[in-house]
């Protein structure tokens, strides 16, 4: 059952990211893709994606770090329409940043992959430093206008998702 959940998790990730890239292009962040999906009455796909990746991770992970990180990431999917509410904004960001922090802690402490955690943080810094050279994202603003924006958060999130998938694969 566990390998099937892992395959489901990876399939959901690859399908969603591919769908977003093909249909809407690179986004400012994976969370911003919700607003593009919402325009087409497909906003629920964002929640399906988050839960489809994170829930299997809670089952596959055999430690409190990654399980807790995945539950926090599920809050991101629940608080998906965060622009209009301070409470949803708080929950969304708490889930995102808390999930990433617990993921880094779990990779370092549970899986004893301190160099991977350090490498992840280094990649975040490098991606941020090179943000001006990455492809620009088209972001839909609250007033419906389209603006160009940096896409570094999107790429950092992809690194986090791939890192979670990698460490869970080690445990299979």
87-98 pLDDT, tens digit each: 999 999 999 999
SS (H, E, C) 27-70: CCCCCCHHHHHHHCCCCHHHHHHHHHHHHHHHHHCCCHHHHHHH
Q: How many CA atoms lie within 13 A of 99 on its CB side?
A: 26
**% of the chain at pLDDT higher than 70:** 99
Gap between the Cα atoms of 172 and 160, Å rounded: 19
Gap between the Cα atoms of 81 and 84, Å rounded: 7
144: pLDDT strictly greater than 80: no
138: pLDDT strictly greater than 90: no
168: pLDDT strictly greater than 80: yes
Q: Domain ranges in the chain? A: 2-170
Mean pLDDT of 101-115: 96
Return phi, psi of residue 63, to 5°: -150, 160
143-to-29, 46, 59, 105, 139 alpha-carbon distances in Å: 18, 21, 40, 38, 11
172: pLDDT strictly greater than 90: no
Tens of pLDDT, residues 59-103: 999 899 999 999 999 999 999 999 889 999 999 999 999 999 999
Tens of pLDDT, residues 2-53: 899 999 999 999 999 999 999 999 999 999 999 999 999 999 999 999 999 9
Taking residue 167's Cβ as centre, other Cβ atoms within 10 Å add up to 22
Look at phi and psi of residue 28 and say left if phi exceeds 0, alpha if psi is from -120 to 50, else beta.
alpha
pTM: predicted TM-score of the whole model, two decimal places? 0.92
- In sequence order, what DSSP letters do the residues of 113-159 get, joined into one string? -HHHHHHHHHHHHHHHHTGGGSPPEEEE-TTS-EEEE--HHHHHHHH
Task: Look at residue 142 in the predicted model and tell me its pLDDT.
Answer: 74
Handedness of CA 25, 30, 155, 3 (dihedral sign): negative
């Amino acid at each position: 059952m566990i390998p099937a959940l892992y395959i489901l998790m990876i399939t959901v990730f690859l399908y969603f990211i591919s769908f977003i890239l093909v249909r809407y292009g690179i986004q400012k962040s994976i969370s911003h893709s919700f607003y593009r999906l919402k325009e087409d009455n497909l906003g629920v796909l964002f929640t399906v994606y988050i839960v489809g990746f994170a829930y299997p991770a809670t089952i596959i992970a055999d430690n409190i770090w990654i399980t807790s990180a995945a539950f926090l990431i599920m809050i991101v999917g629940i608080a998906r329409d965060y622009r209009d509410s301070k409470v949803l904004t708080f929950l969304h960001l708490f889930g995102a940043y808390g999930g990433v922090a617990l993921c880094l802690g779990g990779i370092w402490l549970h899986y004893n992959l301190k160099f991977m955690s350090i490498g992840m943080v280094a990649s975040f810094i490098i991606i941020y430093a090179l943000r001006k050279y990455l492809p620009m994202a088209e972001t839909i603003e609250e007033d419906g206008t389209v603006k160009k924006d940096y896409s570094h958060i999107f790429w950092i999130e992809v690194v986090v998702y791939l890192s979670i998938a990698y460490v869970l694969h080690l445990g299979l």
